[in-house]
Amino acid sequence: MADPTLDVLVAAYPDFIARYDAKDLILKNGQHIALSDGAADKTPQQRIEKADIRDMFVMPYTLGARYKQPATPADDPGRARNQALFDAMYGDCTKGQVKLKTIQWLPRLGGGSLRVTTANGVADRLEAVSRDLEALPAKFHVYLKPSAGTFNCRVIAGTSRMSMHAYAAAIDINVKFTDYWRWGGAKKETDKVSYKNRIPMEIVEVFEKHGFIWGGKWYHYDTMHFEYRPEIIALAKNSK
């Protein structure tokens, strides 16, 4: 039986995902990834820490300025990632498997060079983002450079989960104008977080146009962070 959410996931990553059946996502290399781990009544933290395929879509993402300020720890749309899937697509950085391309970030503004994955066309997408951001009025450029980085073979701070930066499929913009949930004093995922953001929505909308979600739409916010998640963006468009 067709599943609209899984259809979107397959369409988002055509180079790697072949199809799905009642139990598994089936990759083109023959690998099977369980759609569900069978755990019932997961807490938001459990969905983040050990996300199965279904967990990635529990919380819907809202495009553009229509989103509401995240109110509960469950409001982390797109933050759950199934590591088996992303490892299969982008490779294990600790084994030198990530396929990298050097691109110029905001070249007309002297933004420097960045290393980005070529898998799923991410490097090309980020170059398109760069062109569109350069076309924004000059008042927005201060938020964008210098970039705080793309490829970094590391886990997410305070966890054992691989960062999207380990896949070179994410970018952090100028840290000087950004905010992060741990900087306000919160230490654990279950701690109360006070939301803060200084990034203009005009910048966010450019990234979303090209398939990148924004960490500023998470309760556990990371407003410098954008990552390539075309399946999340496509589902958000379908729900409009």
Q: Quote the domain boundaries for residue 74.
A: 4-238
Predicted pLDDT at 121: 98
Q: How many domains does the chain have?
A: 1
Q: Which residue has the tokens 């982390």?
A: 76
State the helix-helix crossing angle for 201-209 and 122-134, rounded to 10 degrees.
Answer: 140
Strands, DSSP E only, in 35-112? Answer: 100-104
Tokens of 129: 């983002």
Q: 214 has which bridge partners?
A: 226
Q: 101 has which bridge partners?
A: 116
Per-residue pLDDT of the chain (240 residues; tens, 9 = 90+): 789 999 999 999 999 999 999 999 999 999 999 999 999 889 988 999 999 999 999 999 999 998 989 989 899 999 999 999 999 999 999 999 999 999 999 999 999 999 999 999 999 999 999 999 999 999 999 999 999 999 999 887 767 788 999 999 999 999 999 999 999 888 888 888 999 999 999 999 999 999 999 999 999 999 999 999 999 999 999 876
Predicted pLDDT at 240: 64
Predicted pLDDT at 238: 87
User: For residues 231 and 177, what is the distance between their CA atoms, to the nearest angstrom?
Assistant: 28
Backbone torsions φ then ψ of 102, nearest 5 degrees: -90, 125
Predicted pLDDT at 117: 98
